[in-house]
Chain A
């Protein structure tokens, strides 16, 4: 029973919300514009750190700090996009993953008075929690946590509606056109480079909102929150749900995160106790984490081989040919 409630609460948890936002952002870049951005973790990191440092070190008010986080992310997207968007898809992937690693290492090793090294920044949510309308626990969630969840899911809905409206507009049609055949779009007199840049910035900003929700949820940010694994997990979620679909990233993030917690909870249950169901020579509860992530890898491989369009997607709409 507690496994089921645990799984359900994982499905609506702060983590699920921030994975949703990261996947919606990635969907704009990869799903609609066909950009193979492997540096989504970097955008989340800059959004989260920009906000956290603005509050913790410079004591800016909440909304000003959010603006700082988003502004830094937009700047990063521009800096990263100018050189890389002209590259072929696999080069773009390597360049963006390298940039995300540089950002993570940078936060972990420089400007220790602001970034606090590998321990990360903490203690920046007082302003946010002071306007918390909930004063007792709701549905078993602590009031502080529930407040972050409400804000997180509101952001998920708002950004989904925004992306939906955007993608039915002429702008969205050009975006899909670029994904299908950028030379054709170029021949219509559109500036493909500029459109790709806009997609990279927009996707990065939505991802940065996810970073913000993560920061508020755990009341701290560490560089290791934003390693390359985060990007790959988000890719798995997006592909599971179906790229280039509004509900794809949301469905993928919620279902995948719930499934991961479910597997974790079941395996922990089976390996724990005096006489565990799975004998301890085969597996102990310390190894549950590895098994969960093995599942991530297997899912990504199987999806990509057998069903690259995921649950909701259309196979013709997935940008998987190098160009």
Chain B
């Protein structure tokens, strides 16, 4: 009965989200004139890397689609942001007008003044990135930078652990390699954004609602989807491919509602940095880390000491044996899904601060989460947390040696190496590999 009541409350909640979400959608497109062809939104922010990434105002950016040959122009505002609608698809030349840069600002040495992306229907918006100003990275001592990167890595790793722990718990109890887990992360961020910005609620309240909705999302997903598939006898590989389909679907639903834009919460978007020796950090990030550590400790302790946690671990070891000892496997698995998705949602809420809210926020870290739980040992609780921190630190410190676009590749590389030399991961049991 209690579950029914929660369910009902949740459905009302989701309905209200949908209802409240729609008007904001309408206001975004209301100003559109009916134009003939498909359009793509080209946007970006001009920041000066040599001056603390301050926004640069009044820079002219032009976009010329090959198809029409007509130039579209935009100028950056006081926040350095610009946006324009390009009335064509296909190859487009996006250029920055170097003469429009203020006198004391110039492009980074060797940086291109033109980008030539191919705009297509699957990508309704494009973020153009020009490297303005010489990055200071060479000016800072390598050791100091190492300290900063290790801190960044620890932060990223601890937040990542929230998502990875959920993924690992679900894998442990059901054997499902859930490719849609990244979308659970995105869900938390988008719900927080909806309540915080579209509805106008306080950020803390929005976050709590988002966590509750994530938990509900996890509950409903298992109760009315995965459990049915398990009972139908769908194989693990088939379910893995189903989760890929779900990932595809959810990611595009998110894109449908957010339109591919990069959004920020109303509060705490640019916290002031505090310097402690070589490391700069913000109180916002510290509080986020504390919240994450508390949640991780609570969940890990519950799995270790509580009755239901022991049941979950028993199911991980041997579902049939667990069921024969009187454990209600379905109920425990549904609980694991509820907690796992709530953790993933929390991961997304926190990532939304540092990486902004976007429809593919979670999809981008899915493989990093896989790397984390493989390194730690699939299905292992402490392994997921330790693996996340190792991967987080590796990803952030790798930028000292390799280009930062490749930092995710460092995690993928570690994943492949671990599969080579120790496929059970650092803390996994050997027999889990089969």
Contact = CB atoms under 8 A, between A and B. Distances in A.
Contact of A294 (B30, B124, B256, B420): B256
Contact of B412 (A99, A264, A280, A320): A99
A87 B419 contact: yes
B248 interface: yes
A304 B238 contact: yes
A285 B38 contact: yes
Contact of A300 (B244, B403, B405): B244
Contacts of B248: 229, 232, 293-294, 296-297, 300
Given A102-B413, A229-B248, A239-B241, 9 more contacts: A90-B237, A94-B374, A105-B408, A232-B244, A235-B244, A274-B34, A285-B39, A293-B248, A305-B242
B135 interface: no
Interface in B86-124: 91, 115-118, 120-124
A105 B409 contact: yes
B46 interface: no
Given A83-B420, A87-B419, A293 B252 contact: yes
Interface residues of B, number: 64
Contacts of A110: 403, 406
A222 B116 CA distance: 10
Contacts of A300: 241-242, 244-245, 248
Interface in B34-80: 34, 36, 38-39, 41
A288 interface: yes
Contacts of B25: 281
Contacts of A229: 248
Contact of B177 (A84, A94, A291, A292): A94
Contacts of B175: 322
A178 to B, nearest CB: 16
B416 A95 contact: yes
Interface in A223-280: 229, 232, 235-236, 239, 264, 268, 272-274, 276, 280
Interface in B115-141: 115-118, 120-124
- Nearest 5 pairs between A and B by C-beta? A297-B249, A297-B248, A300-B245, A301-B245, A109-B405
Chain B interface, >50% SS class: helix
A301 B237 contact: no
A94 B252 contact: no
A158 to B, nearest CB: 29
Q: Taking each of B26, B255, B256, B259, which has the highest tally of chain A beta carbons within 10 Å of its own beta carbon?
A: B256
A296 B244 CA distance: 10
A97 interface: yes
Nearest to B41: A286
Contacts of B367: 94, 97-98, 101
Contacts of B388: none
B238 A95 contact: no
Contacts of B413: 102
A95 B249 contact: no
- Classify the interface of chain A: helix, strand, loop or mixed: helix
Contacts of A93: 177, 240
Contact of A286 (B124, B253, B412): B124
A287 B124 contact: yes
A319 B237 contact: yes
Interface of A: 36, 83-84, 87-91, 93-95, 97-99, 101-102, 105-106, 108-110, 118-119, 218, 220, 222, 229, 232, 235-236, 239, 264, 268, 272-274, 276, 280-281, 283-294, 296-302, 304-305, 308, 319-323
A96 to B, nearest CB: 9
B419 A83 contact: yes
Contact of A298 (B39, B118, B245): B245
B161 interface: no
B293 interface: no
B323 to A, nearest CB: 20
Contacts of B420: 83
B326 interface: no
A293 B242 CA distance: 15
Interface string B285-319: 00000000000000000000000000000000000
Contacts of B433: 87-88, 91
B416 A290 contact: no
Interface string B225-257: 000010010111110111011111111110110
Nearest to B363: A228
Nearest to B407: A105
Given A292-B121, A298-B249, A102 B26 contact: no
Interface in B336-370: 367, 370
A316 B346 CA distance: 42
A287 B259 contact: yes
Contact of A289 (B116, B123, B242): B123
Contacts of B235: 320-322
Contacts of B245: 236, 296-302, 304
A39 B113 CA distance: 34
B39 A290 contact: no
Contacts of B6: none
A84 B416 CA distance: 8
B311 to A, nearest CB: 24
Contacts of B256: 283, 287, 290-291, 294
B84 to A, nearest CB: 14
A154 B320 CA distance: 53
A268 B177 contact: no
Contact of A90 (B32, B115, B236): B236
A108 to B, nearest CB: 6
Contacts of B240: 90, 93
B371 A98 contact: yes
B192 to A, nearest CB: 21
Given A286-B259, A299-B245, A320 B238 contact: yes
A89 B242 contact: no
A272 B30 CA distance: 14
Contacts of B236: 90, 321-322
Nearest to A293: B252
A302 to B, nearest CB: 8
B237 A36 contact: yes
9 contacts: A90-B236, A94-B370, A95-B419, A105-B412, A110-B403, A284-B29, A286-B39, A294-B252, A300-B242
B316 to A, nearest CB: 16
B22 interface: yes
Contacts of A83: 416, 419-420
